[in-house]
Amino acid sequence: MSASGTAATGQVEHMLRQVAPGRHDAYEQLLHALAGSEVWMLLWQGAPGSPDAQYGNMEVDGYGYAPCVTSAQELAASGWNRAHELVPGLEIARALYPDRWGIWLNPHAPGGGVGIPWADLRRIATGLDRMPAGPLRLSEPALEIPQFYALLTQNAHRTSAVRSLRRAWVQPALGSPYLAIGLDLYDSAPASVEAVRAMMHQTVAAVPDGLPVCTVTMSDTYDPVAMWLAAHARPFYDREAHAAPQAAPSHQPGYGYPPAQHR
């Protein structure tokens, strides 16, 4: 391993020791370190690169994880006597999150190691700074901003690509809360996307100063905000006006994350 690789591995293990319940800042730094490092994936069968190679697997609170270790020293300490392969953190994140699998770092260590759920592997794969830090707390917005909603509804009705709009109040584990608008579109053709972008640009003038507003695409089945909106939020604009009743919105952890005590 190169000197830079060794340094990255050292950073992962340093941050791993800092992670504790409530230490979302340390956990976020661990994710950043993982994105630039490598992990030793434990193979249950097959050899590295072979067609029949298969990672080990474990389940915690109904979520699947592939066990791995963070260094050659931890590999030796684990007592693992089957094959393994060295994989960049970014690469393993891209490989596992689409199947909703996470990774579990050093499960042999005192305390049981640390699990990285698939939702955070997706953040690593797509860019940690592009998506809010979880677990997310989501609820129906309590903000009284009728002018914004009225203008947004009016502009959506004029934008034929929009089927419906939903809304959520999102509180990330780190950073400021914000209003999320879920966009349900008839298609994702470039012309439709551009029309919706123009619609939002025309509407932001009615947003109160200091209120962050973001959009999510309802067709993104991996986005925890879109998942929550689909399950818990009735459209506040529905072009076809036949929204079925939904369960009452409630505060709860974001989708894709285990309960907080296992983080």
Model pLDDT for residues 73-106, shown as the tens digit of each residue: 999 999 999 999 999 999 999 999 999 999 999 9
In sequence order, the 6+-apart residues with CB closer than 8 A to the CB of 214 are: 170, 178, 179, 180, 181
- Between CA 194 and CA 185 the distance in angstroms is 12
87, 105, 130 — which closes off a domain? 130
Does residue 189 sit in the same domain as residue 255? yes
Does residue 180 sit in the same domain as residue 102? no
Predicted TM-score (pTM) of this structure: 0.82
Does residue 56 sit in the same domain as residue 165? no
What pLDDT, in 10s, does the model give residues 213-227? 999 999 999 999 999
97, 130, 163 — which closes off a domain? 130
In the chain, the number of structural domains is: 2
| CATH number (domain holding residue 146) | 3.30.70.1350
The region, left, alpha or beta by phi > 0 then psi within -120 to 50, assigned to residue 114 is beta
Does residue 114 sit in the same domain as residue 196? no
Does residue 11 sit in the same domain as residue 119? yes
- What is the four-CA torsion angle of 140, 145, 149, 150, rounded to 10 degrees? 140
130, 164, 192 — which closes off a domain? 130
What pLDDT, in 10s, does the model give residues 185-197? 999 999 999 999 9
Does residue 57 sit in the same domain as residue 118? yes
* Mean pLDDT, the chain cut into blocks of 10 residues (263 residues total): 58 92 93 96 92 92 95 95 95 96 96 95 94 92 93 96 97 94 96 96 91 95 95 95 51 56 46
The alpha helices in 19-144, defined as continuous H runs, are 24-35, 72-78, 89-96, 118-126
**pLDDT for the residue numbered 258:** 63
In sequence order, the 6+-apart residues with CB closer than 8 A to the CB of 82 are: 42, 43, 44, 45
Does residue 113 sit in the same domain as residue 73? yes
Specify which residues 167 forms β-bridges with: 181
User: Parallel, antiparallel, or unpaired: how do β-strands 178-185 and 137-139 relate?
Assistant: unpaired
Residue range of the domain that includes 14? 3-130
b or e along 7-26 (b: 16 or more beta carbons within 10 Å of the residue's beta carbon)? ebbebbbebbeebeeeebee
Does residue 116 sit in the same domain as residue 150? no
Does residue 121 sit in the same domain as residue 146? no
Does residue 24 sit in the same domain as residue 49? yes
Does residue 114 sit in the same domain as residue 145? no
Does residue 68 sit in the same domain as residue 176? no
